[in-house]
Structure 1
Amino acid sequence: MASMKDIAKLAEVSTSTVSHVINQTRYVSEEITARVQQAAKELNYSPSALARSLKMNRTRTIGLLVTTSTNPFFGEVVKGVERHCYEQDYNLILCNTEGDEARMKASINTLLEKRVDGLLLLCSTLEGKYLDVFDRYQDIPTVVMDWGETHFPSDKIKDNSEFGGYMAAKHLIENGHREIGCITGPLDRHQAQIRFAGFKRALQEEGISMEEKWIIPSNFECDGGYDAFNTLYERGELPSAIFACNDMMAMGLINAASEKGVKVPEDLSVIGYDDVYIAKFMVPPLTTIHQPKFRLGKKAVDILLNRIEKRVEQGKQIQLEPALMVRNSVKSLN
């Protein structure tokens, strides 16, 4: 395998000049640069990424830890991360936890041992957990997406989910609904808690009582929404509208309702949360709360690269605002 010394000999320049041309660390005249590049081509030279990373103390690699889920929300965020890493000439290593805590810890160890320049965490199963692995790597820049509190230094990007839950309930109320149910996510998780809090705030402002029989905690997955509707159906009288705290549960709910002959929105209005790509292609197209997923991924990369380059203290919090997407799954009673 050819070395820089071999290139220097063929191009009749010093080894340091070859290094400057290949690593672009100093200006070299066009004539000499062309000679070095031609010599490298003739010798079939391939620079060692490992050697370069050791010399620069930088691998230009970012690690992303993501929760396993059927929810396309995660895939859309990852797409934003991957696209922006590519645009910034960074590599991305993606680790999937498969919902297993031991695998989650092993993945973090693997990413850090691979000397990634920074970490992106989109893994709600980590929320609130103490991970001793971060005690050993306290200097690595980390950005957390879509979480509650963490015990380790990090920047955070959050969706204003309390306002999103408020907007969802407010939209139902503005369309004349006063008998309103909610399928929440797991209420031990931050996102589920604050979306539900926003929902309750909207009802309280309008003096609408919240019926406990129409509140069903679930799991943020399609089967959770499916089972939640069947639970509501078995309890007797249905509300006129339901806020499902993510689109996946809304899909499962609509499927279960269809099986029981309950039509959406004629018999039951439904609003979701996330605005995943397929929401607008559902039958009926789903009214939902939009999260800027692609922008969330891009912003996370921008913040992380800023930390990597400038090495400033972590702790910044960015909040992205949701938006109402009105489609055809909510009936106006006015």
Structure 2
Amino acid sequence: MKVTMQTIADRLGISKNTVSQALRNKDTVSVRTRELVHETAQKVGYNYSERANDAVTNNGSLFALITTDLTLTLNSFFGVILSEIKEKILKNNQQIDIYAISSEQEQELQLPPQIEQGNYDGIFILSYFSTEYLRKLEAIKTPKVLIDHHQPNLDIDSVLTANIDGSIEALAFLAANSVQTIGFIGDIDRSPSYQERFIGFELAQKQLNFQSKPEWTICHLKENQGFLFDAIRQLDDLPDAWFCVNNGYAYSLINYFQSHKLSIPHDVKILSFDDTDLSRMTHPRMTVMATNLLEMGDTAYALLQERITSPEAPIKQICLKPKLIKRGTV
């Protein structure tokens, strides 16, 4: 049987490109990993050559970013993160391939063949995928990092927002602005981040003694303006303020209230998570709890480099604290 870099990679449980970098004594790989690769290469009889067919180019590391086709359309949120990662990669003379996964591919657990073959030094996983799909990605030995998503039962590094703390701080700000009754609106089934924002909402609601009614907690509503209008129309009365899980819900909520001649923030206050283009398209502009998206991209890049150089290090979850941006809806 022909001995290749993949043979060494399989023996050590690392990616083929990590083997290539170790054989070239790149400092992107830890000293211990380089030693293990050279020792294993000698044991299996692998003769390394810069011109070997399975070697990667010497123009720097090659990365993949995998996301859903829907995520790629959200330019003012995930697009900012992606642009920052691409800028870091280009600055370091590295390369990146981007794969948009359709809902059908996700359901059928289809990975891009290049990723399954271990052709990359590292993989960025941007935003939400099903647990089953993430498990298939986890099985690939290439170093990887999850961005704005995490799963407690997966051994993958992640960078995410401190959603619970952010929600608690948001509600404390509302309480300081004379809010006594409060509602929640969103779809917590859509994302673990949204679930965490709801957990923070519930914790803060109890801690700050907000008054509420069951019908003001709308937590399984699809992000659709027509659905939202119907849900609000059915309410007999309204809370002083609404906490929205993202800008899309807040945008529709503002449209509804203004079309019914309610003044924001005089008649009703609105505070939303995130700071996308939508937050600056309303009048007044939205008061928001915002993640630093540039920092999220930078942190994800640095964390993946760390995983490549230290593959045996403990799995990390890095939470970025969001910042309250005070505008006109509170």
Q: TM-score range by the shorter chain?
A: 0.7 to 0.9
Structure-2 change in CA distance of 1:307 and 1:206 (3 Å):
closer
- Asked if the contact 1:154–1:314 (Cα under 8 Å) also holds between the matched residues in 2, the reply is no
Tell me which amino acid in the other structure corresponds to 2:230.
N
Q: Is 1:79 equivalent to 2:83 in the alignment?
A: yes
Q: CA deviation at 1:231?
A: 0.8
The CA distance in 2 between the partners of 1:216 and 1:105, in whole Å, is 32
Shift of 1:202: 1.5
* Aligned match of 1:60: 61
Structure 2 counterpart of 1:255? 255
Which segment drifts farther, 290-299 or 260-269? 260-269
2:213 to 211, 214, 231: 211
C-alpha deviation, 1:256, in angstroms: 2.5
The verdict on how the C-alpha distance between 1:100 and 1:162 changes in structure 2, with shifts beyond 3 A counting, is farther
Whole-Å separation in 2 of the counterparts to 1:125 and 1:135: 12
Counterparts of 1:132-147 in structure 2, within 5 Å, are 133-134=136-137, 136-137=139-140, 139-147=141-149
Does structure 1 residue 113 correspond to structure 2 residue 152?
no
Distance in structure 2 (CA, Å) of the matches to 1:52 and 1:220: 52
Match of 1:282 in 2: 282
Once residues 206 and 186 of structure 2 are traced to their aligned partners in structure 1, the CA distance between those partners, rounded to angstroms, is 17
Whether the 8 Å CA contact 1:161–1:194 is kept in 2: the answer is yes
Percent of residue pairs bearing the same amino acid type: 22
Query: For 2:57 and 2:306, how far apart are their aligned partners in 1?
Result: 16
| Offset at residue 236 of structure 1 (A) | 1.9
Structure 1 residue ranges without an equivalent (≥5):
1-22, 26-49
Task: Find out whether 1:129 has 2:132 as its counterpart.
Answer: yes
Counterparts of 1:23-42 in structure 2 under 5 Å?
A: none
8 A Cα contact 2:138 2:155, kept in partner: no
2:313 maps to 313
Point out where structure 2 has 5 or more consecutive residues left out of the alignment. Answer: 1-23, 27-49
Q: Deviations over 1:109-162 (max 9, x none)?
A: 443337121111123132x3365534652x210101222325442111121100
Q: Which amino acid aligns with 1:237?
A: D
1:236 and 2:239 matched: no
When the two structures are superposed, what TM-score results if normalisation uses the length of structure 2?
Answer: 0.75
1:200-245 alpha-carbon deviations (Å, 9 max, x no partner): 1222112223311111125674x25x63243122222121210101
CA distance in 2, matches of 1:53, 1:87: 27
Aligned AA (1:179): T
Look up the equivalent residue of 1:79 and give its one-letter code.
S
**Counterparts of 2:153 and 2:219, CA distance in 1:** 27
Secondary structure of residue in 1 paired with 2:302: helix
Offset of residue 52 of structure 1: 7.8
Residues in 1 aligned to 2:150 and 2:314: alpha-carbon distance in whole angstroms = 16
Deviation at 1:84, TM superposition (A): 1.4
- CA distance in 1 between counterparts of 2:222 and 2:328 reads 22
Structure 1 residues 141 and 203 mapped into 2: Cα distance closer, same or farther (>3 Å)?
Answer: same
Q: Which residue of the partner structure matches residue 298 of structure 1?
A: 298
2:204 is aligned to: 202
| Shift, 1:185, TM fit | 2.8
Paired residue secondary structure (1:125): coil
How has the CA–CA distance of structure 1 residues 103 and 130 changed in structure 2, closer, same or farther, with 3 Å as cutoff? Answer: closer
C-alpha distance in 2 between matches for 1:182 and 1:209: 12
> How many residue pairs end up in the alignment?
280
Distance 1:204 1:109 in 2: 49
- Of 148, 156, 171, 1:154 maps to 156
- Would you say 1:95 and 2:99 are equivalent positions? yes
Given the alignment of the two structures, is residue 177 of structure 1 paired with residue 179 of structure 2, yes or no? yes
Residues 140-195 of structure 1 show CA distances to partners (whole Å, capped at 9, x for unaligned) of 10101222325442111121100111122111111111121111333363211111
What is the letter of the counterpart of residue 327 of structure 1? R
Quickly say closer, same or farther: Cα 1:284–1:191, change in 2 above 3 A: same
CA distance in 1, matches of 2:96, 2:320: 23
What is the deviation of 1:259? 2.6
Distance verdict in 2 for CA 1:104–1:207, change over 3 Å: same
Mapping of residues 6-17 of structure 1, within 5 Å: none
Q: Distance in 1 between matches of 2:162 and 2:214?
A: 25
User: What is the distance in 2 between the residues matched to 1:110 and 1:55?
Assistant: 14
Provide the C-alpha distance between the structure 2 equivalents of 1:110 and 1:150, rounded to a whole number of angstroms. Answer: 27
In 2, Cα distance between the equivalents of 1:159 and 1:192?
11
Deviations 1:242-286 (A, max 9, x none): 010111221122123233333322322111111124523431111
Q: Tell me if structure 2 keeps the 8 A contact 1:146–1:159.
A: yes
What TM-score do you get using the length of structure 1 for normalisation? Answer: 0.74
Structure with bigger gyration radius: 1
1:305 aligned counterpart, secondary structure: helix
User: Relative to 1, partners in 2 of residues 1:278 and 1:51: Cα closer, same or farther, differing over 3 Å?
Assistant: farther
Cα separation, partners in 2 of 1:150 and 1:141, compared to 1, 3 Å: farther
Separation of aligned partners in 2, 1:325 and 1:229: 26
